[in-house]
Structure 1
Amino acid sequence: MSSSTPIAGHPDLAELRMRYERASETPTAQMADGLTVLGGLFVALSPWITGFAGTTPSLALNNLVTGLTAVMLGLSFAAAYHRTHGIAWTCPVLGAWVIVSVFVMSGTAVTLSTVLCNVIGGAVLVLAGLGTMAPAMASRASS
């Protein structure tokens, strides 16, 4: 039998947790998390705010699900970045999907309001997602 330290108490793991904790406390990370939540709320509610929910129900449902997913990601990044930083790449992907979805989903009426809502909301999610990924990338580069 060897007397080794349990993995939970390993000094390298504790240092890694502290590094991600410091990264999540930066103003850039906090702003990115907040923008992710706000962008997700905008995407989720935009079909009803601009009135295209009745004409394109498939896009409205897509925006609702994608937006609420982004909201949950933003909240999880803000609450536990050290545990969720590994899935930060999904936020820019969701944003790109929001932008493209208005053009590729069947049964979607391509109107000015649908295009503007999806492009603006998607761009906010892409930029906020890249901002969320930045502290983890900087943390890896400095180690």
Structure 2
Amino acid sequence: MSTSTSSPIEQHPDIMEMHARSERATTGVVGQAAEALGVLCGVYLAASPWIVGFSDLTALATSNLITGVALALLMGVFGNPYERTHAMSWAAFCIGVWTIVAPWAVTGAVDTTRTITSNVIVGAVACLMALGLALRGVIGIRRL
């Protein structure tokens, strides 16, 4: 019977330093502003069918409600700083892309400009915010 004195991989100095660098990169003012923007995008996306006035398009309204809540929770609640820069930002990017294509994918044809405009703008902002977080995490890790 042998006892191992090695620490688990999570306690490895290189892993600890990588987590610390990532945390420094994502807890700055820009990272926090991007997260706040992501939460606001999610809340707006969830409420947009009633704000913009397309709640009668039930499938699209449901899609926006679900993806909006998911985006707000993703950006505001889940994850620690290391995951936030990687998996969470790419998931937020996918939600943004879905938001852009949802008016056509869910309803087939949308006849209101305000519906398309709302979804395209909030989807593009979500995509840019997610890319900014992902790139900031990568650049911050390399630079620090």
TM-score w.r.t. length of structure 1:
0.87
The answer to whether the aligner puts 1:117 opposite 2:138 as a matched pair is no
Q: Offset at 1:108?
A: 5.1
Report the counterpart of residue 15 of structure 2 in structure 1: 13
Uncovered stretches (5+) of structure 1, i.e. residues with no partner: none
Report the counterpart of residue 82 of structure 1 in structure 2: 82
CA RMSD of aligned residues (A): 1.9
Distance across 1 between alignment mates of 2:27 and 2:84: 14
Report the counterpart of residue 104 of structure 1 in structure 2: 105
Report the counterpart of residue 35 of structure 1 in structure 2: 37
Q: Tell me the amino acid that sits aligned with residue 53 of structure 1.
A: S
Q: Offset at 1:101?
A: 0.9
Higher mean C-alpha deviation, range 82-91 or range 24-33: 82-91
Higher mean C-alpha deviation, range 22-31 or range 62-71: 22-31
Distance across 1 between alignment mates of 2:46 and 2:111: 18
Q: Offset at 1:76?
A: 3.6
TM-score w.r.t. length of structure 2:
0.87
Report the counterpart of residue 92 of structure 2 in structure 1: 91
Q: Offset at 1:9?
A: 2.3
Distance across 2 between alignment mates of 1:131 and 1:117: 21
Report the counterpart of residue 25 of structure 1 in structure 2: 27
Query: After the TM superposition, which residues 42-81 of structure 1 pair with which residues of structure 2 at under 5 Å, given as runs?
Result: 42-54=44-56, 56-76=57-77, 80-81=80-81
Q: Offset at 1:107?
A: 5.4
Q: How many residues align?
A: 141
Cα deviation 1:81-129 (Å, max 9, x = unaligned)? 2233331211112111111111222355330121111011111101111
Q: Tell me the amino acid that sits aligned with residue 5 of structure 1.
A: S
Give the match's secondary structure for 2:55: coil
Identity %: 35
Distance across 1 between alignment mates of 2:77 and 2:21: 17
Question: Does the Cα contact within 8 Å between 2:92 and 2:130 map onto a contact in 1?
Answer: yes
